Structure 1
Amino acid sequence: MIRTATLTAALACLCSGTHLLAQDTTPPPAAPAAATAEKAAFAFKDGDRLVLIGNTVIEREQRYATLEPRLALALGETKVTIRNLAWSGDTVYGHARSYFGPPEEGLERMAKHLELLKPTVVLLCYGSEMAFEGLSDLPRFLTGYRNLLALIRKQAPGVRVIIATPPPLENLPPPMPDLTDANKNLSSFRDALRKFAGSQNTYFVDWFELMGGMPKPGQTAKPLTENGVHYTREGYQKLSTKLVQGLGLTPPQISEAELGGLQKEVLKKDELFFNRWRPQNETYLFGFRKHEQGQNAKEIPMFDPLIDQADAKIQELKAELLSNKKTL
């Protein structure tokens, strides 16, 4: 049988509290009026280019195409294009996207992609490793996050930034480990990240709380993850709905069947873009073996018009859905 400690470590590799209080029957003090005021919606502008940056939970969204259709419809006539630059297992230091070199190489690669894309809005989600590593490295992490924000703002002057917390983990039946302590770490990390986001002039989305916050003791009755960490299709449907709500927008009242055509086109666009910015044979095209196949690098920009065509189709399908809703 696999030991729980070993499995916990494995999940930490795959993935990349409000502190537990003693029982107290004394009611909490009333929050000040300013704290209870409704949060203003994030101000998207027509023509915005939103770039998603983060680790596993963001990258895997392109498997299901649940966010872009919901956000597009929630924005109504406002047109926003979306590009997913997330990388599973990545950190604010650029570890995963560094390939064979140091983390700095990963940040350099990100800088080049940002220069190419010229985003007007960036949504970041980092820090899921804190669930397993604890918060002892939090000061260094926040310094790394601050440096990452500086890099993004240098490459995309005037960019507006959204920082989202990692969502909670789930307790599943054995042999999956108990992730209660990991969620306590995420809850405390969320509190620190909220303060950090405020100090960096960014829009903060508490994805942890929107997805239910600190889970109740015991095993999850209706799992939305495969293994406690990685969300399923149904999980991403909820993740995306809650993220749209966290941006102060109203998710569309529309069935999955009605979203089907739009999701299909988003999946197509996301695959084209993935092959554009992250080709499988990048070492041969641009790296130390480009002397073998570097002549084929000229084909990579040929994805751009195909991506633009997919964007246009997405906007066309969105307009049809909005028109149909108005006539009902």
Structure 2
Amino acid sequence: MRIRTVPATLAYIILLFLFLPNGLAVAQTTPPPVSDAPSAPFDLKNGDRVVFLGNSLFENDFQYGYLELALTTRWPNRDITFRNLGWTGDNVFGVARSTITNPPTAYELLMEHITKAQPTVVFVAYGGIEAQDGEAGLPAFKEGLTKLLDKIDQLGARAILLSPIPILSADSAASKTRRNAMLELYASTIAKTAAERGKRFIDIFKPIQEISKTVPLTENGIHLNETGYYYLANVLETALGLPPRTKPVTITVSKTGSETTAPAKLLDAGTNTASLTFTIDEQYLPLPLPLNETGLTKSGQIVKITGLKKGFYTLTIDKEEVITASAKQWEDGVELKQGPSFEQVREIRQMILKKNDLFFFQYRPPNTTYILGMRAHEQGRHAKGLEDQSLIIKWLESQIALNRAPKSRVYQLTLLK
């Protein structure tokens, strides 16, 4: 379950009026429906609205923002917006979305949420809750999933189907094995449905299960922690066929001059081995590691510099000291895990979290019955306040759009004396 914190709406409103002259940079136009054959390269286009629809797998990412961060930085020059409709305990019939107010029914509310989000791309992640019904629940699950896909098709959106994630710990080994076997059975049903409908299917069950053998990915064996969402973002990028975020850089220093490989470019190609100045053409910002995690999969830029004379060398980026390493370490390759690009992407991540926090309380306020439901005659006046939050959300989206592209930076390596 997501940890709820009431957003500082007043502060956001003040920011909105301070910065509104800059304009709202994010376009909200909806493109015509686009076919998304599973074999075609995955792409997001100007005006796309990406919706994450499912159970706690998506809702819990409200705390971390990794999935949105990964995708929004992949197309930094395109106006793409995101909405997270994940709901803990939910299934394809929207049972967890029920309120005291009826109508709408839980299923009607699910349909309403999807429609209001105006998606053009929907990542669908169900099956984890339904698998508890065992084999007997498969026909109902497939029926519900089919109706859900019909709705997404009616809205002209593309659907990408995800498998459930595995149970990583349980009361006993036998229980874990039994539950995972049922999750795989439901994953198989999702895969078959995707194939029948010509939709993309992404198996996240096996990759998460494999990664969990060496890295703790959950809080309780069921729900992913911050590290789990970092890896899930990586799994999605790989499954969608997206290229690595960085390419290794190699610089060779010799008495006759220095040479480098793309994407780096030397700014001083002379014979001064005590100092090197260069730039790196970054296509994407890095995906920042979770807090207090240092031994995870490499996510930063790898820089190899050969031919340096013995000693220790300090690398600065835009005059900010980043790392000091020996000539031998530079020759082996040094991974950059901090610096201006990481600071930039962390700021974007914070804006994503603030924006999603506002949206969460806008589309599912804790006192729904009093504001939108059968007791709206008491506090229904607050509905206008919920609507007004859209202005702040759009402003935050404009700031994300203005800052998600990598910036040109100057790298300098200097011998310590």
Residue from 229, 234, 244 that aligns with 1:241: 234
Larger relative helix fraction: 1
Moved over 4 A (4+): 101-104, 174-178
How far apart are 1:134 and its partner, in Å? 2.1
Distance in 1 between residues matched to 2:108 and 2:64, nearest whole Å: 29
How far apart are 1:116 and its partner, in Å? 2.5
Residue from 186, 189, 192 that aligns with 1:189: 186
1:31 alignment counterpart: none
Residue from 166, 179, 188 that aligns with 2:176: 179
2:142 alignment counterpart: 142
- Cα 1:111–1:188 change in 2 (3 A) is closer
1:199 alignment counterpart: 196
C-alpha offsets along residues 9-62 of structure 1, whole Å, 9 cap, x if unaligned? xxxxxxxxxxxxxxxxxxxxxxxxxxxxx9543232122000111001111011
Aligned residues of 2:142 and 2:189 also touching (Cα < 8 A): no
Distance in 2 between residues matched to 1:213 and 1:88, nearest whole Å: 24
3-state secondary structure, aligned to 2:140: helix
Distance in 2 between residues matched to 1:324 and 1:137, nearest whole Å: 54
1:146-165 mapped onto 2 (5 Å cutoff): 146-154=146-154, 156=155, 158-165=156-163
1:1-328 mapped onto 2 (5 Å cutoff): 39-100=39-100, 105-154=105-154, 156=155, 158-171=156-169, 178-212=175-209, 220=213, 222-250=215-243, 252-253=245-246, 254=286, 255-256=288-289, 258=342, 259-319=345-405, 322-324=406-408
2:5 alignment counterpart: none
Structure 2 unaligned regions, length at least 5: 1-37, 247-285, 290-337, 412-417
Question: What is the aligned-residue RMSD (CA, Å)?
Answer: 2.5
> Which stretch shifts more, 125-134 or 198-207?
125-134
Distance in 1 between residues matched to 2:100 and 2:81, nearest whole Å: 31
Aligned residues of 1:131 and 1:186 also touching (Cα < 8 A): yes
3-state secondary structure, aligned to 1:323: coil
Counterpart AA for 1:233: E
Distance in 2 between residues matched to 1:211 and 1:235, nearest whole Å: 8
Please give the TM-score of this superposition, normalised by the length of structure 1. 0.78
Aligned residues of 1:48 and 1:81 also touching (Cα < 8 A): yes
C-alpha offsets along residues 175-219 of structure 1, whole Å, 9 cap, x if unaligned? 89841221122222222211111112321111113324698xxxx
Give me the identity figure in percent: 33
> Which stretch shifts more, 73-82 or 54-63?
73-82
Aligned residues of 1:52 and 1:122 also touching (Cα < 8 A): yes
Counterpart AA for 1:73: T
Structure 1 unaligned regions, length at least 5: 1-37
Distance in 1 between residues matched to 2:186 and 2:195, nearest whole Å: 14
Aligned residues of 1:183 and 1:214 also touching (Cα < 8 A): no
How far apart are 1:234 and its partner, in Å? 0.6
Aligned residues of 1:94 and 1:107 also touching (Cα < 8 A): yes
Larger relative strand fraction: 2
How far apart are 1:288 and its partner, in Å? 1.1
- Cα 1:164–1:193 change in 2 (3 A) is same
Say which structure, 1 or 2, has more relative contact order (CA 8 Å, 6+ apart): 1
Counterpart AA for 2:51: V
> Which stretch shifts more, 50-59 or 194-203?
194-203
Aligned residues of 1:262 and 1:314 also touching (Cα < 8 A): yes
Distance in 1 between residues matched to 2:390 and 2:134, nearest whole Å: 41
How far apart are 1:111 and its partner, in Å? 2.5
How far apart are 1:67 and its partner, in Å? 1.1
How far apart are 1:280 and its partner, in Å? 1.4
Counterpart AA for 1:165: S
Aligned residues of 2:101 and 2:374 also touching (Cα < 8 A): no
Q: How many pairs were matched up?
A: 281
Please give the TM-score of this superposition, normalised by the length of structure 2. 0.62
Counterpart AA for 2:231: K
Distance in 2 between residues matched to 1:74 and 1:268, nearest whole Å: 20
